[in-house]
Amino acid sequence: MEKVFASIITIGDELLIGQVVDTNSAWIAQELNKNGISLKHRVAVGDVRDDIWQALDEESRAASLVIITGGLGPTADDITKPLLCDYFGGRMVVDQPTLDHVQKIFARLNRPFTERNMKQAEVPDVCTVLKNERGTAPGMMFRKDGVVYVSLPGVPHEMKWIMENQFIPLIPQLFDTGFIEHRTLLTYGIGESFLADRVQELEEALPPHIKLAYLPNYGIVRLRLTGFGFDKNGLKKEIEERFQLFKEKVKEFLVADEDITMELLVAKLLQEKNETLCTAESCTGGNIARMITANAGSSAYYKGTVVSYDNEVKQNVLGVKEETLASVGAVSEETVIQMAESVRKIMNTDYAVAVSGIMGPGGGSAEKPVGLVWMAVAGKGRVVTREFRLSYNRARNIEMTSYHALNLLRIFINENR
């Protein structure tokens, strides 16, 4: 048995001119990984016949599964379907179940069914149709010279539906896959190179089928062990043993022994003791709330936020004192303390986080430059504050501030235990 490799080809000029960020590939990669298939390559090409044809040739040499996304719409810039028909030597035929499905969608939307839409139900006669319950363009599977090709629409929720419901269940019949195991440690407070020095011996002793990766982001460095094998339980055990050695080596800096986001780490801490949280955001404009509420079930521990983008709102809703705003200003230790304590009272929670800062590019001064941020965490009769001076662009300043605020809360909660 050998490792099964896949390639992803994404089709569309919008990817090449940068109008769209490709989130499909990361999702597909994760799903394939869970099913024992490793990704070899990801390629993006434009809506150009020769380039797509060449990519199909090249990727079929590198992989035994080629996943193609995009280019399946009803308009003239969508050239993938006829191309695939030629590539696999078929002819276009109407697929009756797809036609019924497309007509049903049009009837539901109360739209006339035109000849152009008829084309959406045509597929090459050499493919296996993968039904698309979420849209009009069906998925298609082809086989040639031992390689499996899957063509999927580029619209993320349609692509995901077909993968989850139509293609992934077929993987065990199509391939003899092995198993891929990941284990991840999160560390905080130590740089990537110092971490590397610390685990050097362990890293050098790893067998060839286990790899170590360093993934630094926002001051957190993730250490990830990835192993591959055909004996699932043996692999699990082997990775687990190595993992414990790494964990022991970095214990002073350990944040978590699983791959988890900062917002879920905080959520776990709160849920352990049935505690609740609220926030008062100025410069992050609701981003902290969004991060927390992106997780299902967050209403169990998160009550809400007041985004006081305007000073009037800081006074009227959050009760920040007029003289504080007049004397030390909105971006100050005193203001974030008042914001945190006040929102905690208003929303009646165990903890509150408040942030205020200048995210740029405008709004800075000599005394309070762009990038200056104050944050406070209040709760359990205590309040802590921290000042940051960030030097990125607006988007990253917002991201970093949100992340640091959640990390400050994480440390604060741990100190109370």
Residues 80-139 that bind a copy of itself (CB under 8 A): 109, 111, 114, 116-117, 120
User: Should residue 23 be labelled a site residue for a copy of itself when binding is judged by CB under 8 A?
Assistant: yes
DSSP state of 390: -
Closest CB to a copy of itself among residues 269, 288:
288
Question: To the nearest whole angstrom, how small is the minimum distance from the Cβ of residue 286 to a copy of itself?
Answer: 3
Label residue 175 exposed, middle or buried (CB < 10 Å: 0-12, 13-18, 19+). Answer: middle
Residues 159-218 that bind a copy of itself (CB under 8 A): 160, 182, 191-197, 203, 211-216
Which of 4, 11, 42, 63 binds a copy of itself (CB under 8 A)? It is 42
Site residues for a copy of itself, window 357-416 (CB under 8 A)? 359-363, 392-396, 398
Q: Does 148 bind a copy of itself (CB under 8 A)?
A: no
129 strand-pairing partners: 140
Residue-wise DSSP of 149-209: EEEE-SSHHHHHHHIIIIIGGGHHHH----EEEEEEEEEESS-HHHHHHHHHHHHHT--TT
Residue closer to a copy of itself, measured from CB, 90 or 286: 286
| Residue 76 binding a copy of itself, by CB under 8 A | yes
When asked if residue 281 is in the footprint of a copy of itself (CB under 8 A), the reply is yes
Question: How far apart (Å, rounded) are the C-alpha atoms in residues 121 and 85?
Answer: 14
Which residues lie below 8 Å from residue 256, measured CB to CB, with a gap of 6+?
Answer: 185, 186, 265
Could you say which of 73, 124, 227, 229 contacts a copy of itself (CB under 8 A)?
Answer: 73
Q: Which stretch binds a copy of itself (CB under 8 A): 67-75, 124-132, 227-235, 247-255?
A: 67-75
Residue 245 makes contact with a copy of itself by CB under 8 A: no
How many residues at the interface with a copy of itself, by CB under 8 A?
107
Please state the closest distance from residue 31 (CB atom) to a copy of itself, in A.
8
CB nearer a copy of itself, residue 251 or residue 309: 309
Only one residue has tokens 């000073």, namely 311
Other beta carbons within 10 Å of 147: 17
Shortest distance in whole angstroms from residue 185 CB to a copy of itself:
14
Identify any residues that bridge with 357 across adjacent strands, giving them in sequence order: 373
Which of 274, 277, 247 lies closest to 340 in space, CA to CA? 277
Token pair, residue 111, equals: 């739209």
Six token digits for residue 208: 């060839």
- Site residues for a copy of itself, window 285-304 (CB under 8 A)? 285-290, 292-294, 296-299, 302-304
